[in-house]
Amino acid sequence: MSVDDQALPPQLTEPVLLRLGLTGLPSLDLEGLSAVYGSWCTRVPFENTRKMHALRTGAAGPLPGIRADDFLEHWLLHGTGGTC
């Protein structure tokens, strides 16, 4: 997998930053990382609802939230979180 395959889709960047309470792209240093991590810890729930639902219903494919774009789209739409 290349770095481009792992990059957050551009259409998600601004909504995610806004939901995290950040006013722009964080700096690429410890200060920026601390800002993102602090916002993440207070705004993204720690739960496994989507994964448990998939396991209980026998849904095929990878568990929900494995890909960053899937996780973030559902967080933005429904407020669902993740386990790690």
- What is the number of other CB atoms lying within 10 angstroms of the CB of residue 80? 20
What confidence tens digit (pLDDT) does each residue in 50-80 have? Answer: 888 999 999 888 888 888 899 999 999 999 9
Domain ranges of the chain: 13-43, 45-84
| Sign of the alpha-carbon dihedral angle for 38, 51, 3, 10 | negative
H-type alpha helices, the chain: 3-6, 10-19, 30-43, 49-57, 68-78
Spatial contact of 44 and 75, defined as CB atoms under 8 Å apart: yes
pLDDT of res. 3: 47
Spatial contact of 72 and 20, defined as CB atoms under 8 Å apart: no
Looking at per-residue confidence, does 3 or 49 come out higher? 49
In angstroms, the first-to-last Cα distance of the chain is: 21
